[in-house]
Amino acid sequence: MARTVAFDQDQAIEKALDVFWRKGYNGTSMRDLTDAMQINSSSLYNTLGDKHQLFVQCIKHYTRKRRILLEERAKVFDSPQKALESFIHDVADVVVKDAQGCFAIKTAFEVSPDNKGIQALLKDDNDFTHTFLSKLIREAVEQGVMKKDTDPDLLADYIISTYTGWYELYILHKDPAKIKQLAAFMVYHLLR
Amino acid sequence: MARTVAFDQDQAIEKALDVFWRKGYNGTSMRDLTDAMQINSSSLYNTLGDKHQLFVQCIKHYTRKRRILLEERAKVFDSPQKALESFIHDVADVVVKDAQGCFAIKTAFEVSPDNKGIQALLKDDNDFTHTFLSKLIREAVEQGVMKKDTDPDLLADYIISTYTGWYELYILHKDPAKIKQLAAFMVYHLLR
DNA sequence: TGAATTTTGAAATGATTGTTTCAGAATTAT
DNA sequence: ATAATTCTGAAACAATCATTTCAAAATTCA
């Protein structure tokens, strides 16, 4: 029998994700990747595939991680509007925490317009968040804590598109207080 | 005396901008540029400089064009809240019109985090829009058509960050109706 | 027209790109 | 231990990258 693969693939993908995140797909060279992952290019091609396949796996890794995090958080709250509020403030925290912006958003602008495969992955990720939010909104409406004429699907899209802009604003202004203000403003205006 | 430069620089920059817009900074090769601009690389380097300098000029060209457009539009309207409404619906139109997204936003995510010079250019562009919007909001408040406790600076940031997200949403879903709905929702919620 | 000067085209630069090759080291079950 | 198999490291691959070189063509004013 033969030997088995030596390195931890999940760990390697996380290293690769970190590089793609910082430099973008086109800004990342295979050398950047092998340096960060600490494996030889032959090993990389034998196990995880070429640059594009590796990138796809990074996206899947990133979106899966976020999905799990979201599902766990949902369990903590007993009331839907508390969960919504918390979600929005959490996003604001994440925005100001990593200066690079969201990997999914960066990729949406850089790669996705010309690549239907990657676009589909990001759309799925987006749809998951949309389902998550619209469900909470629907519950809040049913419980009478939000207005009866609220459109859950529309409001979910609205929330998602709003915090997407926070990432750009933070890259340009690097002002945490501004992001927190915007989050508070959104909560005040939409969820009461 | 010597001969004068043969090609129209402004026209060449517009061609270059088109390429950078579609492919991003790192995704664009000098060959892509010389092909599109229809000039030899030696001419390009002699007049407009290297890849980075050319990119800077493209950003300046893009932001200047937008600034002029914005200033012209402002004169047309007599009431501030009509100007605001029109601004928001115009943005929605632009979002669904070009499938590549906004050049400034793409660049903010791809290049700006590691490049302070380009970041400053984009920040200026952002600040201009912010000043434009907050001024309109301030006028609307003074005229009593918007609530007295409105914070013009905050609301301007809020509007900007919200429509930024529309670009991503449109890249992923390609649904014009959705964008129009979001614009209408924003007008309904914030400007009445 | 002719001398002066600049732009231009094509080729060449060395560096870097993504990917492949392959011999030898490493690991396994017998 | 041995034979079978797989992984690994370093080098090599052609292609493309951004940029430079330079002689020849083009344009100007006198």
First to last CA, chain B: 65
Asked if strand C comes closer than 7 Å to B76 Cβ, the answer is no
Q: Do B164 and A163 touch (CB under 8 A)?
A: no
What pLDDT sits at residue A6?
66
Lowest-pLDDT range of A45-49, A75-79, A118-122, B126-130? A75-79
Which residue among B22, B164, B173 sits closest to A164, beta carbon to beta carbon? B164
Q: Is the pLDDT of residue A98 over 90?
A: no
CA distances from A50 to A24, A80, A136, B39 (A): 16, 43, 40, 35
Query: Is B164 within 8 Å of B107 (Cβ atoms)?
Result: no
Asked if strand C comes closer than 7 Å to A107 Cβ, the answer is no
Mean pLDDT of the region B25-38: 97
What pLDDT sits at residue A1?
54
- A7-58 classified as CATH 1.10.10.60: yes
Chain A touched by B100 (CB under 8 Å): yes
A128, HSE (Cβ side, Cα atoms, 13 Å): 15
A70-73: long-range pairs with CB below 8 Å, 24+ = A70/A128, A70/A129, A70/A132
Asked if strand C comes closer than 7 Å to A30 Cβ, the answer is yes
Query: Is B156 within 8 Å of B133 (Cβ atoms)?
Result: yes
Chain B touched by A158 (CB under 8 Å): yes
Q: Do B181 and A126 touch (CB under 8 A)?
A: no
What pLDDT sits at residue B124?
98
Query: Is B12 within 8 Å of B94 (Cβ atoms)?
Result: no
Q: What is the DSSP-derived secondary structure letter of residue A79?
A: S
Task: Return the CATH number of the domain spanning residue range B1-58.
Answer: 1.10.10.60
Residue A141, min C-alpha distance to chain B (Å): 17
Q: Which residue has the higher pLDDT, A191 or A140?
A: A140
Helices B51-76 and B116-142: crossing angle in degrees, nearest 10, is 10
Q: Which residue has the higher pLDDT, B189 or B28?
A: B28
What pLDDT sits at residue B142?
95
Average pLDDT, chain B: 94
Is residue A80 classed as helix, strand or coil in its secondary structure? helix
What pLDDT sits at residue A149?
93
Which residue among B105, B154, B185 sits closest to A168, beta carbon to beta carbon? B105
What pLDDT sits at residue B3?
64
Q: Is the pLDDT of residue A59 over 70?
A: yes
Q: Where in chain B is the domain with CATH 1.10.10.60?
A: 1-58
Which bases of chain C are contacted by protein, using any atom under 7 A from a CB? 4-11, 16-22, 26-29
Instruction: Give the separation between CA A20 and CA A28, rounded to whole angstroms.
Output: 6
Write the pLDDT tens digit of every residue in A18-53: 999 999 999 999 999 999 999 999 999 999 999 999
All residues of chain A having their beta carbon less than 8 Å from the beta carbon of residue B178 are 157
Residue type, A123: K
Q: Which CATH architecture has domain A77-190?
A: Orthogonal Bundle (1.10)
What pLDDT sits at residue B2?
60
Q: Is the pLDDT of residue B5 over 90?
A: no
Asked if strand C comes closer than 7 Å to B7 Cβ, the answer is yes
Mean pLDDT of the region A167-191: 95
What tokens does A118 get? Answer: 């990657």
What tokens does A176 get? Answer: 């945490």
All residues of chain B having their beta carbon less than 8 Å from the beta carbon of residue A167 are 109
Q: Is the pLDDT of residue B89 over 60?
A: yes
What tokens does A190 get? Answer: 């939409």
Instruction: Give the separation between CA B137 and CA B81, rounded to whole angstroms.
Output: 7
Which bases of chain D are contacted by protein, using any atom under 7 A from a CB? 4-11, 16-22, 25-29
Q: Could you give the angle at the alpha carbon of A98 between the alpha carbons of A13 and A136, nearest 5°? A: 90
Q: Where in chain B is the domain with CATH 1.10.357.10?
A: 77-190
Query: Is A25 within 8 Å of A107 (Cβ atoms)?
Result: yes
Query: Is B119 within 8 Å of A172 (Cβ atoms)?
Result: yes
What tokens does B78 get? Answer: 């007599």
Q: Do B108 and A171 touch (CB under 8 A)?
A: yes
Q: Is the pLDDT of residue B160 over 70?
A: yes
Tell me the pLDDT band of A118, cut-offs 50, 70 and 90. Answer: very high
What pLDDT sits at residue A30?
98
| Percent of chain A residues past pLDDT 70, beyond the cut | 96
Most confident of the ranges A6-15, A66-75, B149-158: B149-158
Mean pLDDT of the region B91-118: 94
What pLDDT sits at residue B176?
98
Write the pLDDT tens digit of every residue in B65-75: 999 999 988 78
Chain B touched by A162 (CB under 8 Å): yes
Which residue among A113, A173, A190 sits closest to B171, beta carbon to beta carbon? A113
Tell me the pLDDT band of A99, cut-offs 50, 70 and 90. Answer: confident
The residue among A97, A35, A25 whose CA lies nearest residue A58 is: A25
Give the rounded distance of the alpha carbon of B121 from its chain centre: 11
Q: Do B190 and A190 touch (CB under 8 A)?
A: no
The residue among B130, B117, B146 whose CA lies nearest residue B25 is: B117
Please give the ipTM for the structure prediction.
Answer: 0.93
Cα-based torsion angle of the residue sequence B58, B59, B60, B63 in order, rounded to the nearest 10 degrees? 120
Write the pLDDT tens digit of every residue in B111-125: 998 999 999 999 999
Q: Is the pLDDT of residue A92 over 70?
A: yes
Question: What residues have CB less than 8 Å from B21, skipping those under 6 apart?
Answer: B100, B103, B106
What pLDDT sits at residue A189?
87
